[in-house]
Amino acid sequence: MALTTDVTPRIHLEPSQVLKDEHRVKRLIASLSKGFFHDINEKKASEILQECLKICRGLNDTLSQVLQDKFFGGHTPFYWAITTKDPESHDPPLLKVLTLYGLTKATQQDIIAAFHVEFDSVLYEAVKPILTAVDTLNTCSPSFFQGDEYRPVVTTSSRSKATWATVHFDIPQFFDRLLVDAESSLRFYALGSTFCLAAVTTRDGHPRWRFNLEELPPSGQKAMQIIADLEIQSQSSSTYSARYYGIPYHSPRLPQMEIQERDLAEFCRNPYTANERGALSGKLTLTK
């Protein structure tokens, strides 16, 4: 007589059943919160995902659909993984494990919404290959200089319905890039819109450069009036600061930011770019 072993079948759990179960939802929020509001590593991120999988009875398909529901403070967990990340890091561990799952268009839109609040060009470029159902940005202009060490970085913080945003930028090989490429531009989200900050060269007499700030508003919307406070900090105590005003109802192009400090504006050695990476770093505060 053949021996048989009874195996208890895994009971299927639909995503809707999980989301209607208040206790399961609370367990999911409690588990995921540890990845959003605490400093964690990749090992801990994997453990958090395993906890969520257990809550969904080990069903990957169910967990994938649950994670793309806006059950966590009106957004998906993907949104929170971006907006709560460590500002000193470009690689939130929990987002890395979450994006192992296929993403719906609605989830991709929620990720873009998160980048409108906290934009990080390095993270954005890392995530962009999976954002196939939504429009995306090229965060920096093409350049002769290739490789991560030459990649410009721009980050912004622009909280929901805010009237101001803080933009931090870092452009390696700044003068080299302008001389070879003629222009270096950065695109980013801020204040519910898209902006382009471009360093361009001028040819009047001795070569100089300036910043152009341009808003690229959504279709059908007028460009907003902007006050732009520019601050460029050197590794020494030197700081260049200036304020520029946008022209209301004129055009998407905001003021050309002429750099008045000669040591900084002209192509010469100066305390702002005299560092190992030849980088120009600064902060732009946008107020509408």
Q: For 85-141, how does the pLDDT look when each residue is reduced to its tens digit (9 = 90+)?
A: 988 889 899 998 888 878 999 999 999 999 999 999 999 999 999 999 999 999 999
Sheet holding 253-258, edge to edge: 183-190, 193-202, 208-215, 253-258
8-state DSSP, 75: B
Query: Is the pLDDT reported for residue 4 higher than 70?
Result: no
pLDDT of residue 226: 84
Q: What pTM, to 2 d.p., does this model score?
A: 0.88
Judge residue 53's burial from the number of C-beta atoms within 10 Å of its C-beta, 0-12 exposed, 13-18 middle, 19 or more buried: middle
Structure confidence at residue 247 as a pLDDT band (50, 70, 90): low
At 253, is the pLDDT very low, low, confident or very high (cuts 50, 70, 90)?
Answer: low
Kindly report the backbone phi and psi dihedral angles of residue 75, in degrees, each rounded to the nearest multiple of 5, phi listed first: -140, 170
Q: Where are the alpha helices (DSSP H) in 99-202?
A: 105-117, 121-127, 174-181
pLDDT > 90: what percent of the chain?
Answer: 62
Rounded to whole angstroms, the Cα distance separating 13 from 58 reads 9
Sheet holding 118-120, edge to edge: 118-120, 153-157, 164-171, 280-287, 227-233, 239-245
Res 6: pLDDT: 47
163 or 159: which leads in pLDDT: 163
Report the pLDDT value the prediction gives residue 163, as an integer from 0 to 100.
86
> What confidence score (pLDDT) does residue 155 get?
96
Q: What is the pLDDT of residues 6-24, one digit of tens each?
A: 444 456 789 999 999 999 9
Are 154 and 144 in contact by the 8 Å Cβ rule? The answer is: no
The confidence score (pLDDT) of residue 221 equals 73
For residue 72, the 8-state DSSP code is B
Checking if the pLDDT of 249 tops 50, the result is no
